Structure 1
Amino acid sequence: MNSSNLQRLHFGFFFACTIFLLGAVESVAQPVLNLQARFNHARDLYERGAYKAARAEFSNTLEDPYLAESNYFMASCAIRAEQTDGEQLMTQFVDAYPYHVYAQSAYLDMADFYFGKGRYKEALDNYNKSDGYLSPAIIFNKGYCQFHLDQNEKALETFKKLDGSFSPYQNDAAYFRGYIYHSREDFETSYTYLKEAFESERYRKPAMELFVSTLYQNGEYQEVINLVETELTPVDNGVVLNFLADSQYALEKYRSAASSYKDLFKSYGKHRNERNYFRAGYSSFKIENKDDAIEYLKRSAVADDSVGAYASYYLGVIYTEHKNWPFAITSFENTAKYPTVIREDALYHQARSQMEVPNYQRSIEILNEYMTSYKAGRFYTEVKEMLGAAYAQTNNYDLAIRHIEELDRLTPQLKETYQRVSFLKGVALFNDKKFNLASEVFQKSLIHDVDAGITQQTYYWVGEAKSLLDQHDEALFYYKSVNRVPSIEVYLKAIYGKAYAQYNLKDYVNAAQSFKQFESQYSSDLNKKYLADALLRMGDCQFALKEYQKGIDYYAKAEKAGNKNKDHIYFQIGLLNRYLDKDAMAKQYFNRLIKELPESQKADHAYFQIAQIDFEEGKSKQSMEAYRMFIIKYPSSSFIPFALLNQAVAFDNEGQSESSISNYKEILDRFPRHQTANSALLGLQDKNANGQFDEFDEYLRKYKQANPNSEALENIEFESARANYYSQKYELAIRALEDFVLSYPKSSLIQESQYLIADAYFRQGHLDKSLQYFRKVENDQDFSKYSKVLYRLADIESMEGNLEKSNAYYYQLAQVSRSSRNVINVHTGLMENYFKDAQYDSAIHHGNALLDNPRTGVLASAQANLIIGKSLYENDKLESALQNLLPLVSNSPDERGAEAYYYISKIYYDQAKYDRALESLFVLTNNFQNYDLWLNQAYLLMADIYIETNELFQAKATLNSLIDNSSLDEVVAVAKMKLKQIEETVDSNE
């Protein structure tokens, strides 16, 4: 065996021995290594907070050298996992291993764990079980547990152990010692410890707050200021800064207080509350910083308590100084809602502000409330004087009249007030077309002749009311009572009215003299339309007096003066020329009327006169053609029966008997009760006698049926029923007319009976029944009241919301009647229907047609301007809308004026011209208080403006007033919604 083989053998043996020995060692060390690994793994789980898993793993290491430690950690895991056997296991560990290093800190460990969990009773129990060294931290924790368990005396003893420890816990404990003494109202001792706690990092802030609040609550305001200035500057605590500001406020150091509150609001948002805002606002108010005062007081005034009441009051004072009366009113009104000592002052200043606006009616209400609430008030004398002044200016005429009539004695001032408000009430009634009531109230104004100007105006307006009631004799008395002084304008109008009254009484001689007097005394100060109309009526008077040439001259003067009734002028001149046997000139004027004014209600009459001239001149063929064209062109004219009759005569003259007979028959078929019917019957009788007509008996029977003897029962019953209708006894009229229709179903009066029944139902507001009867006569175009039927049908369909049907009737009415009244009715109805249907361009078209019509009256013109303005507004043509709406506000003291002001305000609002919008709304709310809808809408819009301008206090006050006082449920609902939105906005900004 060589050396190399021997070496390989030795190496193999050595390797085998080594493997054997290593295997033997491993078999001994393997259990020890596994136990250590599991113990370390259990510790790792423990450190990571997996206590249940750690306990389970420690249960596998209960062997030496880890037996004691594993028992400790199993107990600790059970405690931290809040298992029920945790404390039992820990006690067993301490008992089993009393000298183990973990046994010395086991209870402290348990105590710290419970302390961290806020379980102070368990923590304290374990602190008490530990008899080893207690560090300052543990002493503090033990005292803290006692404090939280209301063991204050023990806590004081424990915290005292920290004295001289010079640890941070000594200062921390000082806070709780100070707190305990504070709760016992031992403030001197409390102050000592709280000052010591100022050095605590953890409790410096609550210590300062408690210290300062104690000083403040004890009224030691200067001490608060001194403390902050000497020890706490700069202030980095919102509570302390709040108490500093409050202390400065309490000592009336308003400049310092205002500065402190400003710093407070800037840095500490949670202190922005109504109480602080009030004190900041009042402080700013006292140092004449009105801008800041307004800003803070507005934020405070939203409070629904006495703080809000006081804030509102001082806001009102500032607004009064600035002459911002509307805002002042809202502020004082809010104050007056609360039972505070300043309520009396608020009512007084609220009334004064209302007088300045002026809103006299509201001022009267407030003053009466003051007199009821404060019968011996400080302002009682001033209030009585102010109340008299308010009544002197009020536009609540009923309230003023009733108040004055209830007084035992009237001063000269009150007599003048009574005279004036009675006059104004009469004018308001007159404008509402309540002429009887207006006349009665005007009589009250004449009781006290204090103001000569009012007396003269009253005489004039009584005359106007009597004239419109057709009481022309009485009207004359009042017109004649008007003197030349003090107002020449009223005097001239009275002459004009007197002339008209005489004219309506057919006293043409005196009427002509009065119109002449008006012409001679006319002044350019008066609208020239009066002169133009007077000249026209002079022409009418001369016509009636058969002074035909003078009549022509005056009509010519009227045209030259700008009278727009050209159709009347042309027709009358044509007619007068006929009377003067100037037929060529007459034809010239009739043709002029037809050519220039084809839509005139007199156009048909003019055409008829032209045919009549040809007929009277014996031009049978020419007249026959003229009548034919007339009948075709004006099928609904009231002159159709005359045209048919004269044409029949012309036919006879030309030997056209069949055509003549046809005309006579048409008259009797279509117009059996017309005055021409008798002549037509005679014509047929003549044809019958000549053997040219053999149906005479049938037409005679028709004629007799249509024209019964006036003493016949049928006629008597009809006239009796109709009398009830004209006496406005509609229920009786309906009953009688319906009985008449049943009794005489073939009467020629059936159509008129059905018309009267329909109209009576309409006037009672029974639209369905009215519509039913009107439809029974809507197809009879020969009915004398056919145009009225169409107008009523159009009106009812519109009221029922059937706008297309209504429009169809209006267009039909326009075709059958060209009278000026119906032309105006058609355009008015279409204008209003198209506006309701949001067809604004069409509404504007018909509105302009009304404004261009010289016969359109004042009220219809006002309505046209309103609808045009509203339509332009809806089309976003705001400036154009203003042009139509602005004239209404000075000329319409009725609901149209109120609505116009509202839309004007909306336009300014849409243009963001909020000041102008508010001005317009203030006028509306002050001058149109009888129109609830627009008054309420105005206040809603006012609130919107306040919201847009961030005047949230004003907005809330306005909306609350609406909620409390409005009688319109839908308005209250909107106001509540807006108020909720404001409150949500305020809350989100705090």
Structure 2
Amino acid sequence: MNMRYLLLIISMNLYSMNLLAQETYLDQSKEPLFHQITEAYDNALYGRAIDLANDYLAQGRQLNQDHTPTSETLVNIISRISAVHLERDGASLELENYALSINPDHLTDKAFFVLGNYFYNEKEYDSAIHYFDQVNELQLTDKQFTEATFKQAYSYFVTKDFNAAENKLLQIKDIRDIYYYPANYYYGMTKYYKRDYDAAIKSYERVSSSSQYKAHIPYYIAQIYFAQDKMTELVSYGEKAIVKPETKKIKEIRLLLGQAYFQQANYSKALPHLKYYEKNTEKLTNDEFYQLAFTQYQLGQYADAKENFKELTNLNDKQGQLVNYYLADCYVKTNDLNSARTAFKKVSQMPFEVSMQEEALFNYGKLSAELGHDREAINTLIKVEETSPHYEASKPIINDILVNTEDYSNAINIIEGIPTLTPELKVTYQAITLNKGLQLYNENDKGAAKAMFDKSMAIDVNRASSARGQFWLATMLHEQNEYTPSLQAYEKYFDLSNGLSMPTASSEYIAHYNQGYNYLQQDDYGQAEYHFKNAIVGINSNRERIKDEYITTRVLTDALVRAGDCAFTANKYDDAQSYYDQAIDRKQPGYDYSLYQKALIEGLSGRPYEKIITLEEILEDVPESEYVDDALFQLGDVYLSIGNTNSASSTFTDLIETHYGRSPLVNAAFLKKGLISYNKGDMSEALKFYKRIFVNNPAPKESQAALLAIEEIYIDDLKKGDDYFAFLESIPEYKITDFKKDSLSYIIAENQFSNSNYEGAVDGFTSYLNKFATGTHKLDAHYIRGESLSILNRYGAANADYEAVIKEGFSNYYESALRKAAIINYNHIQDFKQSYKYYDILSTVSQSPEITYEAQLGALRSAFRTQKDDAVLTYGTQVYGSPYNTNDEKLSARYYVAKVSYKKGMKDRALTAFDEVGRNATNNQGAESRYMTAKIFYDNNEMELAEVAINNANEKNSAYANWVAKGLLLLSDIYIKNGDLFNARAATEAVVENFSSDKDLLSEANQKLSKIKTLEKNQSRIKTKSNPDQLELDTTGTNRND
């Protein structure tokens, strides 16, 4: 028990113990222990009193012959009352039981009186009533009677038993003692709650002279006027009362004044009173917040009104629906449409006022559409029923969303759920399934993309959509190396697209470009040239409207080069050179190939000096060209053809010195150098060059040519047959008998490959390698067997052959084997560590800038898959800066760099990269990057930037439901940080309602929603309901007189 209550009981009941002691009629001088007990109790030493009482009772009657049963009873009661004071477990029940056990002893009433006081002060009013009921009032003094009666009446009052309280107070309200004013005050309160207002006022008048109560009377009189609906009298009385300095409960009176003015629709008068009350009150009731907010709303103070309406947004009743409706209007008027959308959503979920619900449902869907929340807009507007006055207005919005949305999956599901499609919806459905196919195509899900294109074309109500679908079907066939079906599909496309204005990506000139490659694969160079030429004309004619620079530069240039190749193959050298010259003039990456081809044409056309100039242009202007070794070889050859042997020799020397271990033409240069030395009569020098071929992984034809030359020199010129045979012994794989067997066995297998009998080729090369493990054709056998196995889709075995070629070091097959092993490990075996290894090597050894770039891109992707973070940053930078990248590859490189930078804590670098990808990419990486841009702002506590970024992301990511859902959860976190639980809850609920297919996200959303509800509860200023069985009272003093 709290000490202040103990002292209070002492002050009220000490005289009772003295009285009890007197009633024993003992001579206390003969009872020193009994005296110590009462003294300890009187001094509130309850533990000592209990101990002494126990000693007393233990001694029994031996202590004093005058020791009587009455004194023993008193000691028992003192001991038990002391235990009550000490709040010992079961003490009050033990006292009650003891009192009942001695009943009808007069001490029983004293015990119950003490218990009643104890529980009264503990505010355990039901117990207090119980014990006061046990007291025989005839055993009490007058003072004890009024005390017990008032406290029991007060207990009845607090527990809302106003009739019982009134009956008790009637017994004492006219007695002039310390309870006179409290009794009349609460009698008036009892009459007030029983709506007997006149009697209440009379009681208040009785206590008006009490300094303790008179300051409180104005409040209750004002309440009475309010209860009687006498608003005019309340206003008059209350306005005077609040200016008096002694008046208590000013804020409560001002609340009543505000509410009176509110009922009179005098909002300008109501507002200052309601605001004063709100400012000075920690928690308000629902009605108090509503009245203040509605008053502000009526006066056009929408910013203030919405803050107070927000306190009530979670009410799930008619008032809650009305609150959210007005709140939505406040947000509309303050141009906060996102929050207005949230409020309308809440209204639409409440069925209390149907017309309001219907209007809110439409407005929620309409605003969702305007703000780019396609999925929520569609899912909402399709719920607008035909009987709704908003049904007709919702239809064009629905169709507009379906036509323009990027949330294709949801739109398709919705349309497929409609039993009968209108002609307009069929057109929309064909377009949406086409766009979904394109999305899947861009995500490299080609199988699902084809299914969507087929579904789109099956509708066939819009020729433009059908043509686009046909284009992408043809393109996928081309990419799958299905050239004949692709060729036929493009011809269908040309029929469909004739006369139509097509998008750039599926335009006729791009179709012609791809068709040209189809014909190239079939060696139909005439048709291939025709289509490349049409592609060139189409791109040039549409240059102004083509926004993709890649097409106007790289694709156009490549079409010129391929047209040149077709003309070259057909021996139309003038046409070929014209195409090559146009490509050269554009100076796009790879124009060195056109220079090289031009040089070949000049040579074939009998213009050696022009050929020399062109070849030297390659060497001087494009020294990093992959054709430098070819140019050097051709230059040496042309010098030979015009009799300039010295220049030829030095050129071949340059080729050998600069490209040894890097070019397959080095051995050919050795042959040329050997021939030049032979023609000069320098047999020793010639032999030196021919013999060097055998230590440089020669191709069979190269080794055969070198052997013939060496044999001629040793046998015919030097007449040193023994030296020739000694040389042959130094290269065992070239023993004469074995060499012939080796070659024959190899040729048999090679013929199988040439005849497209790939199973036979595999068997033949396997037989060859088993017999000639170190044979002259071992590299050829491994490589071509690898090619055969690849065609047969036996990628693991093919990879082993390519790796065997790689292990031998540089050869004619080295670069190609590296490339194919890397591709197989990445795409088929998915051993990304191995693919990284081979791409990494390939990027350093390739002479082709295009292949080097391909290796860098492959190394980047492999490094990302294997978490080689430093390699990702290195190759990401190289790919991003390469002139050979496509826009998608450039952005993909930035994406990988962004991911690794974020992982390594380099937030600024990550933010820059994510921002670039997010602004320019339309695929899943772009969607994630837009999300991550906002996430970094959030991590950096830049909430304003984070909110702008995530809203932009959610609008643009509609095609990627997963990222929209994650974006909404991030937006919820931002709102929580900003203290906007209203919109935080709405964002989280949107995930629960619209993205339930992702169980992980749904779980996260539900956890976040639970957190928000806890925050709402903790931050709520709504006054919680009190104990319905007790009144909440501002006690003005119940035991003291003034």
Q: Calculate the TM-score normalised by the size of structure 1.
A: 0.73
Partner of 2:118: 117
Q: 1:719 aligns with which of 744, 758, 762?
A: 758
Q: 1:160 aligns with which of 156, 161, 170?
A: 170
Partner of 1:381: 392
Which is worse superposed, 80-89 or 391-400?
80-89
CA pair 197-324 structure 1, distance change in 2 beyond 3 A? farther
Cα distance per residue 1:786-810 (max 9 Å; x no partner): 12244237747996675xx665433
Query: C-alpha separation between the residues in 2 aligned to 1:299 and 1:830?
Result: 57
User: How many pairs are equivalent?
Assistant: 915
User: Is the contact between residue 620 and residue 651 of structure 1 (CA under 8 Å) also seen in structure 2?
Assistant: no
Query: C-alpha separation between the residues in 2 aligned to 1:815 and 1:916?
Result: 43
SS in 2 for 1:962: helix
Partner of 2:742: 702
- Tell me, yes or no, if structure 1 residue 295 matches structure 2 residue 307: yes
Q: 2:848 aligns with which of 797, 819, 823?
A: 819
- Tell me, yes or no, if structure 1 residue 606 matches structure 2 residue 631: yes
User: Is the contact between residue 317 and residue 328 of structure 1 (CA under 8 Å) also seen in structure 2?
Assistant: yes
Structure number with greater CO (CA < 8 Å, separation at least 6) is 2
CA pair 201-838 structure 1, distance change in 2 beyond 3 A? farther
- Tell me, yes or no, if structure 1 residue 791 matches structure 2 residue 822: yes
Q: 2:401 aligns with which of 383, 390, 394?
A: 390
Gapped regions of structure 2 (runs ≥ 5): 1-26, 84-90, 120-126, 729-734, 773-777, 1021-1042
One-letter amino acid matched to 2:818: S
CA pair 46-535 structure 1, distance change in 2 beyond 3 A? closer
Query: C-alpha separation between the residues in 1 aligned to 2:1000 and 2:768?
Result: 51
Query: C-alpha separation between the residues in 2 aligned to 1:801 and 1:261?
Result: 70
CA pair 187-562 structure 1, distance change in 2 beyond 3 A? farther
Query: C-alpha separation between the residues in 1 aligned to 2:996 and 2:629?
Result: 55
Q: CA deviation at 1:600?
A: 3.5
Query: C-alpha separation between the residues in 2 aligned to 1:939 and 1:420?
Result: 28
Cα distance per residue 1:848-867 (max 9 Å; x no partner): 42233222122212212333
One-letter amino acid matched to 2:44: G
Partner of 2:327: 315
Query: C-alpha separation between the residues in 2 aligned to 1:814 and 1:279?
Result: 74
Q: CA deviation at 1:109?
A: 6.0
One-letter amino acid matched to 2:885: T
Q: 1:130 aligns with which of 106, 121, 139?
A: 139
User: Is the contact between residue 794 and residue 810 of structure 1 (CA under 8 Å) also seen in structure 2?
Assistant: no
User: Is the contact between residue 111 and residue 127 of structure 1 (CA under 8 Å) also seen in structure 2?
Assistant: no
CA pair 258-759 structure 1, distance change in 2 beyond 3 A? farther
Partner of 2:276: 263
Partner of 1:365: 379
Q: CA deviation at 1:837?
A: 8.0
Q: CA deviation at 1:680?
A: 7.0
Q: CA deviation at 1:381?
A: 2.6
- Superposition map of 1:31-50 within 5 A: 44-50=39-45
Say what the alpha-carbon RMSD is for the aligned residues.
Answer: 5.8
Q: CA deviation at 1:81?
A: 2.8
CA pair 210-568 structure 1, distance change in 2 beyond 3 A? farther
Q: 1:937 aligns with which of 963, 966, 991?
A: 966
Q: Calculate the TM-score normalised by the size of structure 2.
A: 0.70
Cα distance per residue 1:499-555 (max 9 Å; x no partner): 774584522774686477569857556555266566656655664564656755654
Query: C-alpha separation between the residues in 1 aligned to 2:457 and 2:573?
Result: 42
- Superposition map of 1:677-826 within 5 A: 692-693=724-725, 695-708=735-748, 719-720=758-759, 753=785, 779-781=807-809, 782=811, 783=813, 785-792=816-823, 795=826, 802=833, 807-826=836-855
Q: CA deviation at 1:938?
A: 1.7
Identity, % of aligned positions: 16
User: Is the contact between residue 498 and residue 514 of structure 1 (CA under 8 Å) also seen in structure 2?
Assistant: yes
Which is worse superposed, 383-392 or 961-970?
961-970
CA pair 191-608 structure 1, distance change in 2 beyond 3 A? farther
User: Is the contact between residue 872 and residue 880 of structure 1 (CA under 8 Å) also seen in structure 2?
Assistant: yes
Query: C-alpha separation between the residues in 2 aligned to 1:704 and 1:930?
Result: 61
Q: CA deviation at 1:926?
A: 3.3
Partner of 2:358: 344
Q: CA deviation at 1:116?
A: 2.3
CA pair 587-376 structure 1, distance change in 2 beyond 3 A? same
- Tell me, yes or no, if structure 1 residue 853 matches structure 2 residue 882: yes
SS in 2 for 1:395: coil
Partner of 1:52: 50
User: Is the contact between residue 806 and residue 818 of structure 2 (CA under 8 Å) also seen in structure 1?
Assistant: no
One-letter amino acid matched to 2:737: D
- Superposition map of 1:304-703 within 5 A: 311-341=323-353, 342-368=356-382, 370-371=383-384, 374-397=385-408, 410=422, 417=428, 421=432, 424-425=435-436, 428=439, 431-432=442-443, 434=446, 447-448=461-462, 470=483, 471-472=486-487, 475=490, 478=493, 494=508, 498=512, 501-502=515-516, 504=520, 505-507=524-526, 510=530, 514=534, 517=537, 521=541, 526=546, 527=549, 529=553, 540=565, 543-544=568-569, 546=571, 548=573, 555-583=580-608, 585-594=610-619, 596-613=621-638, 630=655, 633=659, 635=661, 637-639=663-665, 642=668, 655=683, 662=691, 671=699, 692-693=724-725, 695-703=735-743
Q: 2:926 aligns with which of 893, 897, 901?
A: 897
Partner of 1:28: none
Cα distance per residue 1:139-165 (max 9 Å; x no partner): 424655788999987765543232433
SS in 1 for 2:306: helix
Q: CA deviation at 1:922?
A: 3.1
One-letter amino acid matched to 2:371: V
User: Is the contact between residue 234 and residue 257 of structure 2 (CA under 8 Å) also seen in structure 1?
Assistant: yes
Query: C-alpha separation between the residues in 2 aligned to 1:229 and 1:47?
Result: 50
Query: C-alpha separation between the residues in 2 aligned to 1:882 and 1:905?
Result: 9
One-letter amino acid matched to 2:42: E
CA pair 821-941 structure 1, distance change in 2 beyond 3 A? farther
Query: C-alpha separation between the residues in 1 aligned to 2:53 and 2:295?
Result: 68
CA pair 940-638 structure 1, distance change in 2 beyond 3 A? farther
Q: CA deviation at 1:708?
A: 0.7
Query: C-alpha separation between the residues in 1 aligned to 2:234 and 2:369?
Result: 46
Query: C-alpha separation between the residues in 1 aligned to 2:764 and 2:918?
Result: 51
User: Is the contact between residue 786 and residue 802 of structure 2 (CA under 8 Å) also seen in structure 1?
Assistant: yes
Which is worse superposed, 125-134 or 471-480?
471-480
User: Is the contact between residue 758 and residue 773 of structure 1 (CA under 8 Å) also seen in structure 2?
Assistant: no
Partner of 2:78: 77
CA pair 439-596 structure 1, distance change in 2 beyond 3 A? farther
One-letter amino acid matched to 1:719: Y
Query: C-alpha separation between the residues in 1 aligned to 2:334 and 2:900?
Result: 39
SS in 2 for 1:860: helix
Partner of 2:990: 961
SS in 2 for 1:707: helix
Gapped regions of structure 1 (runs ≥ 5): 1-31, 96-102, 723-736
Q: 1:229 aligns with which of 233, 238, 249?
A: 238
User: Is the contact between residue 416 and residue 448 of structure 1 (CA under 8 Å) also seen in structure 2?
Assistant: yes
CA pair 544-422 structure 1, distance change in 2 beyond 3 A? same
One-letter amino acid matched to 1:47: D
Query: C-alpha separation between the residues in 2 aligned to 1:437 and 1:114?
Result: 86
User: Is the contact between residue 367 and residue 387 of structure 1 (CA under 8 Å) also seen in structure 2?
Assistant: yes
Q: CA deviation at 1:901?
A: 1.9
Query: C-alpha separation between the residues in 2 aligned to 1:509 and 1:834?
Result: 40
Query: C-alpha separation between the residues in 2 aligned to 1:601 and 1:922?
Result: 48
Which is worse superposed, 534-543 or 309-318?
534-543
